[in-house]
Amino acid sequence: MTNPPSPSDLNIKIFADGADLDGIREMAANPLIQGFTTNPTLMRKAGVSDYKAFALDAITIVAGRPISFEVFADDFNTMQAQALEIASWGDNVNVKIPITNSKGESAAPLVGIDL
């Protein structure tokens, strides 16, 4: 039986998901982790009370690797403003926008897709 390929041999990217700065720091030390992602639910569960301060700390820790943050607004005008602010925090920052808000309204026009 042959050994399975190592993750570095595959055409995949491994992103760590979480909202704990110590955990992000630990994962950032692992060269197999190529990026990071979090969301408001994870941040709330981790006790994050200052979204921007947390995000800026996380951006520093990941040292240029991709990192994704999600908007937390529920109306599309505020989502757009938040997305632009979050994106301004770094060239390695990606912004996640939920496909629908809590009312079931599609965010497709906000992200520029025609469904």
- Residue 103 annotated among the catalytic residues of the structure: no
SS (H, E, C) the chain: CCCCCCHHHCCCCEEEECCCHHHHHHHHCCCCEEEEECCHHHHHHCCCCCHHHHHHHHHHHHCCCCEEEECCCCCHHHHHHHHHHHHCCCCCEEEECCCECCCCCECHHHHCCCC
Residue type, 87: A
Residue type, 13: K
Catalytic residue among 13, 45, 96, 103: 96
Catalytic residue IDs: 96
